[in-house]
Copies of this chain bind each other. A is one copy, B any other.
């Protein structure tokens, strides 16, 4: 049994109070999500009712998803890339491994060669799909060791994974070297650029990580991270525009006859939001956002080192890590810790210059105590 209904006033007083219990983004330094851009929110609200799981009912929304895939294809140097909007990096990574597995149906004990730095979603994916994950050690620079990766590949390997923007240290794996290895072994090569895919293309000196690199088969990118879209919005891109069809299953009673997505019902709203941000900011706007995040990351590293907290890595992207004791962090700031117990801060767009300075001041105050 449910309760009796509540008045709207009573209900929203309660919900507003609950929302107050959530942390203020001003103090969130640990997240790869951020406050969505105002155009993302406005677009999201315009498409609130739409369901991409039944695209024949929502052809307008569906055309926005196609445009989003086109934008990423162009940005990632493969205009005709295939793809679709997922619920985020986890779904994109699962789907990449499903695709890899679908190409190698004869292999009895398939394995996947993934860097130790891989996001935990690869564990979920391997667990679900019955794949052995073979972890590749990192070099001293926290990047995957390509030679070590090559050494782990055998005839049962169905996929090689590289990370463009690791969750913990913000590093970009040596994608061109890995691409060569993938080509040599005729391997499916998935690049997890959930974080980096919306950072690297906008850097002054972008590391090669996308379809411009020979051998890259699929790329995951998350508009709901550095793309400043609303949650949930990820995207999987495939070099072969028809690759996803290998996951097709029949879908009676829909306006389409087959689908290859993981989810059935899928929101159009965050997809409209993601496209809105890309089209509103454009290349120059995204460059300015990313330049700001990188500048703040450098300032944070310099400031922390001045306070005596040495960097753990010199990151490729806007993730800063330090040798620092947990007690050194004053409330109410929320940071996170890597598996090697390094302090980790992600300089997302909401962590603007003023917040970096405020955090550094708070760290200095805390030191005096």
Contacts and interface: CB of A to CB of B under 8 A. Distances in A.
Interface of A: 1-6, 8, 11-12, 14-23, 25, 28, 30-31, 33, 35-36, 39, 41-51, 54, 56-61, 63-64, 71, 74-75, 87-91, 94, 98, 119-121, 123-124, 127-130, 167-168, 222, 224, 230-232, 249-255, 262-267, 269-270, 272, 276, 278-286, 334, 336-339, 344
B61 A276 contact: no
Contacts of A270: 267
A123 B98 CA distance: 14
Contacts of A119: 264
Contact of A224 (B167, B262, B265, B281): B265
Contact of A57 (B22, B167, B168): B22
Nearest to A44: B48
A49 B75 contact: no
Protomer copies? 2
Contacts of A121: 264
A212 B262 CA distance: 31
A334 B255 contact: yes
A318 B351 CA distance: 49
A56 to B, nearest CB: 8
Given A98-B128, A249-B120, A339-B252, A19 B279 contact: no
Nearest to A282: B5
Given A12-B42, A36-B49, A58 B23 contact: yes
A17 B43 CA distance: 12
A214 B11 CA distance: 35
Given A264-B121, A334-B255, A15 B280 contact: no
